[in-house]
């Protein structure tokens, strides 16, 4: 289910101690992770410090990250053992593929979305409204752009880790159809980036924890009805048009095309959709954080 991949509520409250520890900037050279994450460098030379802070926080909370790796295993095993023999093969662009090979890429896209959304919503809200972590950060040489892109980099890094684990599990269970499946990973990274940017932008408008009920209300239908578990052709025509406009559907189509080795020029449109989410999300996040944090 959405939100299953990620830290438990106890992990969110572990930020209390981290918020107090973030009042000063760590002057040590950036670690390996900040140096290999180009996104953190786009906002300025200090953005990598925000990413490094998150890495250091989760150094003692690693169990909350590792636990997210079990979700894809349970999903894929349940589908492969239980549902696949009952459903039979599915037609994709005229080619019959096993049901497990049809569902696995959709679940990979969903896992990338969930991994990025957890940190870009609940944890960002906690740091922004409860722990006042970002206020402390801005008392250092860090700027709003550094905070926004540093946090976005961490969300993408986490989504990337979940995607890599999911793809490895797919390979071990024999659910990979084409050698092109290696491109499922960069497609999943793009999905993580798009949803992390959109999640952070939306979180800046949240006022209370109750507002997150609306987030769950939006993402459960995305998870269930974005052609993840069955072809879009099962819907009536008007509903197909609605689903084709949803963000997760774009990612599911990209990852499934890579896994099955089915390519077409229409995939560029799906990539452009997700890229537009990134650009708009980053711009809105920068502007909103500036309004909320700067006098």
Q: Give me the pLDDT at residue 224, please.
A: 85
Nearest in space to 53 (alpha carbons), one of 40, 42, 68: 40
The predicted structure's pLDDT at residue 45:
60
At 42, is the secondary structure helix, strand, or coil? coil
Under 8 Å CB-to-CB from 231, ≥6 apart: which residues?
Answer: 90, 91, 92, 102
Note if the pTM is more than 0.85. no
Beta strand residue intervals within 19-142, DSSP E: 90-92, 95-97
Q: Give the 3-state secondary structure of residue 8.
A: coil
Would you state the pLDDT for residue 9?
41
8-state DSSP, 263 = -
CA distance 207 to 204: 8
With a cut of 70, list the residues of the chain below it in pLDDT. Answer: 1-45, 64-69, 72, 295
- Radius of gyration for the chain, computed over Cα atoms and rounded to the nearest angstrom: 19
Q: How far is CA 114 from CA 122, 145, 173, 288, in A?
A: 12, 24, 22, 23
pLDDT score for 35: 41
User: Each residue of 23-44: pLDDT tens digit?
Assistant: 444 444 444 344 444 444 344 5
HSE-up of 155 (CA within 13 Å, CB side)? 31
CA torsion 154-155-159-162 (nearest 10°) is 60
Q: Which of 15, 48, 43 is nearest to 33 (CA)?
A: 48
Helices in 123-211 by DSSP H: which ranges?
A: 124-125, 133-137, 144-173, 184-203
Pair of tokens at residue 208 = 């209370």
Strand partners for 43: none
Question: Which sequence spans correspond to the domains of the chain?
Answer: 9-293
């Amino acid at each position: 289910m959405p939100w299953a991949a990620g830290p438990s509520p106890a992990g969110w409250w572990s930020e209390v101690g981290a918020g107090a520890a973030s009042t000063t900037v760590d002057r040590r050279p950036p670690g390996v992770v900040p140096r290999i994450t180009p996104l953190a460098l786009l906002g300025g030379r200090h953005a990598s410090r925000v990413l490094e802070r998150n890495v250091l926080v989760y150094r003692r909370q690693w169990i909350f990250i590792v636990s997210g790796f079990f979700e894809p295993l349970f999903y894929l095993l349940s589908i492969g053992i239980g549902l696949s023999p009952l459903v039979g093969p599915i037609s994709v662009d005229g080619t019959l593929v096993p049901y497990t090979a049809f569902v696995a890429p959709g679940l990979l896209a969903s896992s990338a979305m969930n991994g990025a959304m957890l940190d870009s919503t609940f944890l960002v809200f906690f740091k922004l409204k409860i722990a006042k972590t970002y206020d402390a950060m801005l008392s250092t040489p860090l700027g709003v752009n550094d905070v926004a892109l540093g946090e976005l980099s961490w969300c993408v890094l986490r989504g990337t880790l979940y995607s890599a684990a999911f793809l490895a599990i797919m390979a071990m269970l024999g659910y990979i159809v084409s050698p092109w499946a290696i491109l499922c990973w960069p497609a999943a990274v793009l999905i993580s980036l798009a949803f992390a940017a959109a999640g952070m932008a939306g979180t800046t408008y949240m006022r209370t924890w109750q507002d997150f009920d609306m987030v769950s209300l939006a993402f459960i239908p995305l998870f269930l009805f974005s052609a993840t578990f069955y072809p879009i052709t099962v819907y009536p025509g008007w509903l197909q048009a609605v689903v084709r406009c949803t963000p997760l559907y774009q990612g599911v189509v990209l990852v499934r095309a890579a896994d099955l080795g089915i390519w077409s020029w229409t995939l560029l449109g799906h990539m452009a959709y997700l890229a537009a989410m990134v650009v708009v999300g980053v711009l809105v996040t920068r502007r909103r954080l500036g309004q909320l944090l700067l006098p």
